[in-house]
Amino acid sequence: MSLNKYLDIAPEAAAALAAGKPVVALESTIISHGMPYPQNVETALAVEKIIRDNGAVPATVAIIGGRLKAGLSEQEINYLGKTGAKVPKASRRDLPVLVAKGMDGATTVTTTMMIAAMAGISIFATGGIGGVHRGAEVTMDISADLEELAETPVMVICAGAKSILDLGLTLEYLETKGVTVIGYGTEELPAFYTRKSGFQVDYRLDTPEELARAFHVKQELNLRGGMLVANPIPERFSMDPAVINAAIDEAIREANERGVHGKATTPFLLAKVKDLTEGSSLESNIHLVYNNAELAAKTAAALCKLK
């Protein structure tokens, strides 16, 4: 039972944690804000199945009725999917008010890391992290995900930073914060929809066991913060960089014209890119999440063996 009075750990996840078995955290913003219904629910349930098929227990994270949830029922996942963007997007700054008012919240990378750490979950699979937005030298638009990676002891497995961002500045920021960026089977940071970006990661590791060992040593050294694993999208689902970059440039131009800013920026840009690519980006998004879930489950299993 959790010591945090605001946290509910689902029975399946709680039993696994108590028995020292692998558990993988999943975010809920991808359900409510990342995809249309019913694809969002279908994808969320498929991701949970992939994690189970690879030997771990899934724990989708959200805020439901003011309760921090580490692990959702199928009914709760359906609720988030159907309610969609009406569910507030919850970052660190939103948690106190959402909980105090008994509201719902779809957790970002930041809040999923926080709640996973509260529950004792070390591995988290997502699509892509936030980062330094293009033009941040003027807007100061920098995702809270980067600060959380510097503070919270969770390994985040993703397909790199979303390609709507300034990837070079994102890596510089992570370096400043002391966050290790690992390329899984690659020395180059993947750019979410594509496998390459032209930017180098800190280290290349090639097996789930190597990932688990690196994170285990970090924990034993009592070093603060998490680790970022960039797992490239499978080759067959990778998009043409010219096509996706042209769509991103157009989406950013429109966002600037409309005055879109803050937490509305990423959902707007991703939706616009989906429209401009006639849905190809959504298909890529789904399959990169599946790929990350599989690697996360295998890494969580390897980490449990080390403990």
Asked if 187 is an active-site residue, the reply is no
Rounded CA-CA distance 76/24 in Å is 18
| Ramachandran bin of 238, using left for φ above 0, alpha for ψ from -120 to 50, beta for the remaining angles | beta
Q: Which amino acid is at 98?
A: L
Backbone angles phi, psi at 144, to 5 degrees: -65, -15
Q: How far is CA 233 from the centre of its chain?
A: 14
Backbone angles phi, psi at 181, to 5 degrees: -110, 115
Given 89, 162, 274, 298, which residue is catalytic?
Answer: 162
Given 27, 48, 76, 294, which residue is catalytic?
Answer: 27
Q: Which amino acid is at 124?
A: F
Partners of 90 in the β-ladder: 107
Picking from 305, 303, 2, the residue whose alpha carbon sits closest to that of residue 153 is 303
Catalytically annotated residues: 27, 162
